[in-house]
A and B are shown apart, each in its own frame.
Chain A
């Protein structure tokens, strides 16, 4: 497709379960970002990739969160031993230029994670 695609759209996980969220950026886009959006809040930065290199992971809330983009295209955000406070919408964005979010970024529809 032409836009950023995220899957699954909805995920319900039991507390303690591991989850993996997938992001397919727009083809050819160099930069890829993950954001976490809690209910009623603005998106909060998690991590940034330039091609396969993870250049900034300062926003990852704990070592239970891990992201990868091994071939510089598809990215996976993994959350281990999920906790209730991980419940949020996880947004992925991609950008054509390697200066990151200073340029226009395109967002996916997000994955809504609910931890029960």
Chain B
């Protein structure tokens, strides 16, 4: 069965600090996809990244970076030099190639304090 665990329920950091959001997943498929979504107070889920299971290269996009490690079934997300606008709930998610749906973790609420 597929499962996504985000152990950090809530994190608070001071602006400009770096912060890492943890994500651990479980799947029996060899082909799968991992996602991160951001949910600001407005409620809309904003797509951040999609990685497939064959691509373990880490990715950087501006202040955002992702560390995918199949050996530990983790897909962690780091925000560098955090800003107040980064405050939101962040969801890690998993989709197996054999299935249509995406399974979300419970989310990590991130507070960036000015």
A33 at the interface (CB under 8 A from B): yes
Interface residues of A (CB under 8 A from B): 31, 33, 40-45, 48, 55-56, 59, 89, 91, 93, 99-110, 112
**What 3 pairs between A and B have smallest CB-CB spacing?**
A100-B100, A42-B104, A107-B45
Closest to B31 in A: A102
CA gap between A100 and B33 in the complex, in Å: 12
Number of B residues near A (Cβ < 8 Å) is: 23
Could you tell me if B44 and A109 are in contact, using CB atoms closer than 8 angstroms? yes
Q: From the candidates A31, A55, A102, A107, name the one contacting B33 in the complex (CB within 8 A).
A: A102
B43/A109 in contact, CB under 8 A? yes
Known: A42-B91, A101-B95. A93 touches B100 (CB 8 A): no
Contacts A104-B47, A108-B44; A45 near B107 (Cβ below 8 A): no
* In the complex, chain B residues 73-111 whose Cβ is within 8 Å of any chain A Cβ: 91, 93, 95, 97, 99-107
B42 lies within 8 A of A109 (CB) = yes
Which B23-44 residues sit within 8 Å CB-CB of chain A?
A: 33, 37, 42-44
Tell me, in angstroms, the Cα distance from A108 to B39 when the chains sit together.
11
Given A107-B44, A108-B44, A109-B42, A42-B107 contact (CB < 8 Å): yes
Please, how many angstroms separate the alpha-carbon atoms of A89 and B43 in the complex? 9
Residue in A33, A40, A45, A103 whose CB lies within 8 Å of B50: A103
8 Å CB contact of A100 from B37, B101, B107: B101
With both beta carbons as reference points, the residue of chain A lying nearest to B97 in the complex is identified as A102
Find chain A residues with CB under 8 A from B4 CB: 42
How far is the CB of A105 from the nearest CB of chain B, in Å? 7
What CA separation (Å) do A40 and B42 show in the bound complex?
14
Given contacts A42-B91, A42-B107, contact A106 B47 (CB under 8 A): yes
Are B101 and A42 neighbours in the complex by a CB distance under 8 Å? Answer: no
* Whole-angstrom distance between the Cβ of B10 and the nearest chain A Cβ: 10
- Distance of A19 Cα from B55 Cα, bound (Å): 43
Q: Are B47 and A45 in contact (CB under 8 A)?
A: no
Q: Give chain B residues whose Cβ lies under 8 Å from the Cβ of A56.
A: 100-101
Contact A42 B47 (CB under 8 A): no
Give the CA-CA distance A91 to B37 in the complex, in Å: 13
Q: Can you name 12 A-B residue pairings with CB atoms under 8 Å? A: A31-B100, A42-B4, A42-B106, A42-B107, A45-B102, A48-B100, A91-B45, A101-B33, A101-B100, A102-B33, A107-B45, A110-B44
